[in-house]
């Protein structure tokens, strides 16, 4: 089982930039991209069919015909994706949208464009760890992309080590 990370972003350059910034996760985490919501739902189906777990979704705020917030709200209602960490990437969210995202979508993080690669990676690592802790996933196979200290603390508690 692999952890999966979904990037939902309609602009190719932004998608590519995100993927390149997250390259160091790519060897251990399944990174998928989608340019619109229907594709994103297909990807989620594929991840589920392959027996992997969707651990984190990064959604652009502005998508064709739908707001990233609405998409994330939809994920919160789906059993397969409810546990996934939800990150909104935005250049323009106003306060109402942000409040809605936090209250209804259980938004975990909020990334403003343009972002700093280091901070982005730290945040992703942190969120993946949160997912592992909250979902009760065995952290050992994914240690490379987790906050090692916290992950090992779980393992120690379990008494495996």
Among 21, 24, 36, 41, binds another protein (CB under 8 A): 36
Question: Helix, strand, coil % (nearest 5) of the chain?
Answer: 50, 20, 30
- State the Cα torsion 32-142-144-158 to the nearest 10°: 160
Under rule CB under 8 A, residue 159 binds another protein: no
Under rule CB under 8 A, residue 114 binds another protein: no
Minimum distance, C-beta of residue 113 to another protein, in the bound complex (Å): 12
Minimum distance, C-beta of residue 159 to another protein, in the bound complex (Å): 32
Minimum distance, C-beta of residue 134 to another protein, in the bound complex (Å): 26
Minimum distance, C-beta of residue 32 to another protein, in the bound complex (Å): 7
**Residues 115/58, Cβ–Cβ less than 8 Å:** no
User: Pattern 81-100, binding to another protein, x per CB under 8 A?
Assistant: -----------x--------
**Residues 104/67, Cβ–Cβ less than 8 Å:** no
Beta strand ranges found along the chain (DSSP E): 3-8, 29-34, 53-60, 62-63, 66-67, 85-90, 109-112
Under rule CB under 8 A, residue 150 binds another protein: no
Minimum distance, C-beta of residue 31 to another protein, in the bound complex (Å): 8
Among 35, 48, 70, 126, binds another protein (CB under 8 A): 35
Under rule CB under 8 A, residue 34 binds another protein: yes
Cross-sheet strand order for the sheet of 29-34: 29-34, 3-8, 53-60, 85-90, 109-112
**Two tokens, residue 84:** 């996934």
Among 42, 45, 122, 138, binds another protein (CB under 8 A): 42
Under rule CB under 8 A, residue 45 binds another protein: no
């Amino acid at each position: 089982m692999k952890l999966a990370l979904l990037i939902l972003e309609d602009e190719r350059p932004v998608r590519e930039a995100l993927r390149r910034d997250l390259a160091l996760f790519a060897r251990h985490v399944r990174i998928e991209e989608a340019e619109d919501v229907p594709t994103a739902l297909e990807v989620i189906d594929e991840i589920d069919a392959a027996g992997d777990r969707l651990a984190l979704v990064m959604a652009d705020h502005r998508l064709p015909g739908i707001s990233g917030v609405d998409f994330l709200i939809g994920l919160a209602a789906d059993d397969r994706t409810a546990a996934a960490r939800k990150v909104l990437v935005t250049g323009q969210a106003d306060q109402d949208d942000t409040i809605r995202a936090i209250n209804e979508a259980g938004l975990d993080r909020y990334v403003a464009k343009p972002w700093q690669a280091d901070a982005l990676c730290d945040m992703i690592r942190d969120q993946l760890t949160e997912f592992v802790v909250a979902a009760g996933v065995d952290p050992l196979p994914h240690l490379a992309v987790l906050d090692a200290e916290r992950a090992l603390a779980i393992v120690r508690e379990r008494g495996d080590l």
